[in-house]
Amino acid sequence: MIEFLVKRIATILPTLAFVSMLIFGLQQLLPGDPAVILAGEERDPNVVAYLREKLHLDDALPVRYGYWIGGVLQGDLGESVRTQQPVLDLIVQKLPVTIQLAVMAMMIALLIGIPAGIASAVGRGTAWDVGANAFALWGLSTPNFWLGILMILLFSVQLGWLPASGYVSPFENLRENLAAMIMPAFVLGNAIAAVLMRHTRSAMLQVLNADYVRTARAKGLSERVVVLKHSLRNALTPIITLGALEFGTLLSGAVLTEQVFTIPGFGKLIVDSVFNRDYAVVQGVVLVTATAYIALNLLADIAYFAANPKLRA
């Protein structure tokens, strides 16, 4: 396992270097002069010239990349040209919010998706199965944006139970924090739960038909032990992979859901920055997200070892 980990970690550094080049290069393909858009309505030529110089826009692409990556290696991700806030500060502000939303959404997805998948597989063809499949279809086909607005109209405008927006830090007021996060977490978790349910169901169906499960049943083991200990554990590998990928996606920011519920996370930050051509922010956020994604994949690999004894050999 250690050898495997060393090999995996050794691939991370070149991957990150490649990702940084990709982020930087792709962004330059965006049409429009960032200096012109950042110069605001007046577009004073002096301001445009100043911004071009400040952003090194007249330098060659490799030189500009050198300026940026040089700063990154020294822990300086630059500053937002639009708000003048350091990118690192913005990330430090947004990352806990995005992580909390991702964790809550993932918990909701796991709590709904896996039990529903198991119930559907075990009770194949029963009302449980039909119900779980209907839920999955609903989850997959409901746009987050629409569900979010409907939830606001119901729980905030009509019933007045939950705030429509207004993120509060959990360290400031946990109750208000949970009240503000529960709807966006559900909207996000709902869609992922549907995917998890479908995958859990198909993985479980495969495993439940396997010979060793028949053997376990023949040995007289209880159905609970057969399903949860012998079947689910073996079915978990693809579910872990999927969970890690979905969690990684959540960490890159849930753009529409964050917009609807005014959650100050990565999604809002990155979209606003792309439209405003605030390059330093886009590069910083995408780099952090990519790093998190790679780290999560590594964790998923480690989780395979824990879940599947065959891999430890």
47 near other proteins, judged by CB under 8 A: yes
Subset of residues 68 to 127 that bind other proteins, contact rule: CB under 8 A: 80, 82-85, 90, 93-94
Q: Residue 246 or residue 278: which is nearer to other proteins going by CB?
A: 278
Measured distance CA(180)–CA(304) in Å, rounded? 34
Binding other proteins (rule: CB under 8 A), the pick from 55, 203, 269, 287 is: 269
Rounded-to-integer distance, Cα 292 and Cα 64, Å: 25
Secondary structure of residue 67 in the 3-state scheme: helix
> Does position 156 bind other proteins by CB under 8 A?
yes
Q: Are 120 and 108 in contact (CB under 8 A)?
A: no
Q: Is 186 in the site for other proteins (CB under 8 A)?
A: no
Return d(Cα 113, Cα 211) in angstroms, integer. Answer: 26
Total binding residues for other proteins by CB under 8 A? 50
Extract long-range pairs of 95-99: CB within 8 Å, 24+ residues apart: 95/266, 95/288, 96/169, 97/167, 97/263, 97/264, 97/265, 98/250, 98/251, 98/253, 98/265, 98/266, 98/267, 99/251
Should residue 172 be labelled a site residue for other proteins when binding is judged by CB under 8 A?
Answer: no
Among 42, 73, 127, 313, binds other proteins (CB under 8 A): 42
Residue from 116, 122, 164, 236 in contact with other proteins (CB under 8 A) = 164
DSSP 310: G
Of 31-39, 104-112, 122-130, 204-212, the segment contacting other proteins by CB under 8 A is 31-39
Closest CB to other proteins among residues 76, 272 = 272
Q: Which stretch binds other proteins (CB under 8 A): 4-12, 41-49, 135-143, 191-199?
A: 41-49
Which one, 77 or 196, has the nearer CB to other proteins? 77
Q: Which residues contact 141 (CB under 8 A, 6 or more apart)?
A: none
Would you state the torsion angle of the CA atoms of residues 105, 107, 112, 118, taken in this order, to the nearest 10 degrees? 130
Binder among 15, 133, 262, 291 for other proteins (CB under 8 A): 262
* Closest separation in Å from C-beta 226 to other proteins: 48
Q: Which is nearer to other proteins, 80 or 231 (CB)?
A: 80
CB atoms within 10 A of CB 96: 13
- Is there binding between residue 167 and other proteins (CB under 8 A)? yes
Show Cβ contacts of residue 39 under 8 Å, excluding neighbours closer than 6 positions.
47, 48, 51
Site for other proteins contains 173 (CB under 8 A): no
193: closest CA among 277, 129, 106?
106
- Kindly list the residues in this chain that would bind other proteins in the complex (CB under 8 A): 30-34, 36-48, 50-51, 54, 80, 82-85, 90, 93-94, 149, 152-153, 156-157, 160, 163-167, 259-260, 262, 264, 268-269, 272, 275-277
